[in-house]
Amino acid sequence: MKDRFIGPQKKSIMMPRRIPDSTGLSTRGGIITERDPDFCIVRLRIPAGMIKPEQISAIGKIARKYGVEDLHLTTRQTIELPHVDPSRLDGLLADLRKNGTPLGAEREEVVNVTACLGTRHCKFGNIDSIGLARELDKRFLGRELPVKVRIAISACPNGCTSERLNEIGITGTRKPIRDPGLCTGCGTCTFYCKEKAIEVVDGIIVLHKDRCMECGFCIMPCPFHIIQGEDPTYKITLGGHRGRHPRIGRHLITVNSEEDVIRVVERIITWIHRQASSGSLLPEQLDELEFDAFRKDMHAMIFGEVS
């Protein structure tokens, strides 16, 4: 694996002192050094934070077997096992693999993909965020890059996963379609619009497109099923960051299918691998990496035109 860390202290800082280089474990991104460098934290791979009851029970048994007293639930919807004795890593990782919850990722690579419950469970969801997260995890998790890349998916603009504060964010949107000739002007939809983009004017519903976030919340409550919606779309942002200096990701492109999302993410990751440099965060590099030109390339790839 390419060595991205500089300086004589990198091994003592980045990896537990008791992991010999010959094991190969010192290069695994899901192993993190604790404050006491004789112990480590093991981060698991749990795409979208979805896990079977029997798997989570087994994690508890595995943790006890290897002397782990507490489990940590992370902001990236995965589980960490703290204070692990590095001499027991081989057996621990083997047991975790058998459980279907193997070692995850943490360094300059694609880390655990997060997602809300989406259309499988949430009444506000516009897209199947869980299914998409699992597919992106299967294709990209652990992909080595010059910078850490987080991917998050929210099935609607409520942003429950803070997807726009991730290097790659995906938001499910749905544009409402209303028929003024059929609308009764009852105003039910106005109570569900959080942006005040719908109002009743002289008994007629008016949609202010400049305020609409295309969340789709006004579609289902219509008692007469008059407000319809276009097919869901996927709004992709790039260069968001939570951390010490939070930034909202820039809108890159909006696409119409999961297949297009995967194509765009593949192209983004290839672009980052070829163009980005280590030592600074992705959002700090976007202008230098000619984000606007890359955005035009994405539109040309998906739609065959420059936008």
Q: Exposed, middle or buried, 287 (CB in 10 Å: 0-12/13-18/19+)? A: exposed
Q: What architecture (CATH level 2) is domain 10-98?
A: 2-Layer Sandwich (3.30)
- Which of 13-17, 163-167, 175-179 has the highest average model confidence (pLDDT)? 163-167
Residue 122, φ and ψ in degrees, nearest 5: -95, 130
pLDDT at residue 27, rounded to an integer = 60
Is the predicted pLDDT of residue 50 greater than 90, yes or no?
yes
3-14, pLDDT tens digit by residue? 333 333 344 345
pLDDT band at 19 (very low <50, low <70, confident <90, very high): low
pLDDT at 16: 65
Superfamily of domain covering 114-174+232-303: Sulfite Reductase Hemoprotein, domain 1 (3.30.413.10)
**Which has the higher per-residue pLDDT, 253 or 16?**
253
Q: Which residue has the higher pLDDT, 178 or 254?
A: 254
**What are the extents of the domains in the chain?**
10-98, 114-174+232-303
Same CATH topology for 10-98 and 114-174+232-303? no
Out of 23-27, 96-100, 203-207, least confident range: 23-27
In the chain, the N- to C-terminal Cα span, in Å, equals 38
Confidence of residue 23 (pLDDT cuts 50, 70, 90): low
The C-alpha atoms of residue 306 and residue 26 are separated, in whole angstroms, by 45
Q: What is the pLDDT of residues 63-93, one digit of tens each?
A: 999 999 999 999 999 999 999 999 999 999 9
Place of tokens 């279907």: 100
